Amino acid sequence: MSRFWRAGWVGLLGWIVAAGSTGWAEIREAGVWWLPRNVSHFGHEIDFMIYVILWLTGITGILVFSTMIYFIVKYRHRAGVGAIHSHGNNTLEVVWTTIPVFIFLALAIYGNEMWGRMRMQKPPADALQVAVVGEQFGWNVRYPGPDGKLGKMDSHKIGKDNPFGIDPNDPDGKDDFTTYNELVFPVGHPVQLHLGSKDVIHAFYVPEFRLYQDMVPGRVYDFVWFKADSTGHFQLACNQLCGQGHYKMFGKLSVVPEEEYQAWAKGKAPATIASSAPMPANTSVANR
């Protein structure tokens, strides 16, 4: 490869990294150099795990690389000094194989147990039920009305005119209200999500909630729940490349005090049909 082409490739790579990092930084509120603020009740456990792994791999990395550099310098080529043969050390081999095995086992067992508590434990009975269905390129959101019950969702009924797969005759769904790209959750109140997709694979991703869940068409996921510990404004970003308009598929997500949530919900008119709120004018049909 000529010097010209090599410089070209390096420049292109640099540009991709620079452009990519800018886009990534923009979805953050602040602190782009470290983990985003944690808001969910289980987030500190995930962060703890990240720090444990970071320390373990960091210390191991420093030990391995400093040893390597030491040996590179110590056994460098010198005129008149011959090479020596080393057979290795069986005790050392056993020790540095056994220790990582136990560390990996411990991480796997702890991680599995944590995952079980996050996704397999039933949410509290008073959890707010919220349905979120992704589509190219936006979020259909459905909240229960005054009865506190969300109309039953059926993934087989999800379609163009029925993004939530709701049975129009289900009495629980009659007073539900819907929003588009707008989510409001009360602080300190458990929220159970019912996630679905209308067309392709999307992903519900809120870094501050330490929450990520793929939404595959044909399924409704009802095992994701969380409790926000503090208020704030966040972005619900789709984290699966779902088409040309993927980059603009984001919802405004607010965590507010309970009274503020109640006032917001009170002002919403029930969905007259089982469909979503009217699509905003800026959602271009040409991108579908």
Binding residues (CB under 5 A) for Cu ion: these are: 202, 238, 242, 249
C-beta of 10 vs 279, nearer to Cu ion = 279
C-beta of 202 vs 210, nearer to Cu ion = 202
* Pairing, β 232-238 against β 250-256: antiparallel
Rounded-to-integer distance, Cα 184 and Cα 143, Å:
10
C-beta of 46 vs 238, nearer to Cu ion = 238
Cβ 183 vs Cβ 219: under 8 Å: no
C-beta of 142 vs 246, nearer to Cu ion = 246
Compute and round to an integer the Cα radius of gyration of the chain: 26
Closest contact distance (angstroms) between CB of 235 and Cu ion is: 13
Closest contact distance (angstroms) between CB of 202 and Cu ion is: 4
Cβ 219 vs Cβ 194: under 8 Å: no
CA 205 to chain centre: 3
C-beta of 193 vs 249, nearer to Cu ion = 249
Quickly list H helices, the chain: 3-26, 43-74, 90-119, 258-266
SS3 268: coil
Closest contact distance (angstroms) between CB of 141 and Cu ion is: 14
Rounded-to-integer distance, Cα 206 and Cα 93, Å:
43
Closest contact distance (angstroms) between CB of 238 and Cu ion is: 3
Closest contact distance (angstroms) between CB of 212 and Cu ion is: 13
Closest contact distance (angstroms) between CB of 145 and Cu ion is: 27
C-beta of 138 vs 145, nearer to Cu ion = 138
Q: Which of 70, 35, 41 is nearest to 53 (CA)?
A: 35
Q: Which of 140, 122, 120 is nearest to 131 (CA)?
A: 140
**Omega within 30 of 0 (cis) for the link into 137:** yes
C-beta of 21 vs 287, nearer to Cu ion = 287
The one-letter amino acid code at 22 reads: T
Closest contact distance (angstroms) between CB of 179 and Cu ion is: 17
